[in-house]
Amino acid sequence: MKKNKTIYQDISEWGDIDEFVEITQDFLPKPKDLVFKQKLKTVTITLDEESISFYKKKADKLSTSYQHMIQNLLHIYAKRMQQKK
């Protein structure tokens, strides 16, 4: 997965932007990076319609299941949080 770094330009009327802006890397994966299989356990979860609609559209474009994309998103998030400990 390619990591993107957010780049901020100095804005002269603001002075030194580093004084009040923390530059961080985007840690969320792109939808195409959520297409892989894991060992699964069935749970029940309620999600908002807007989120489901987003994943369904992306899944259609990638010829995969929106449920798998959501599962993989949660998996990636959990792994990253474990690494921070």
Convert the pLDDT of each residue in 43-59 to its tens digit.
999 999 999 999 999 99
In a domain, 20, yes or no: no
pLDDT-based confidence at residue 40 (cuts at 50, 70, 90): confident
Within 13 Å of residue 83, how many CA atoms lie on the same side as its CB? 7
Name the average pLDDT for the chain.
78
Residue 1 pLDDT: 54
Answer for the pair 33, 2: CB distance below 8 angstroms, yes or no: no
In a domain, 71, yes or no: yes
In a domain, 72, yes or no: yes
In a domain, 40, yes or no: yes
Answer for the pair 11, 43: CB distance below 8 angstroms, yes or no: no
- With tokens 């923390």, the residue in question is 22
The pTM of the full predicted model, rounded to 2 decimals, is: 0.54
Number of domains composing the chain: 1
In a domain, 34, yes or no: yes
pLDDT-based confidence at residue 14 (cuts at 50, 70, 90): low
Per the structure, the complete domain to which residue 59 belongs is given by 27-84
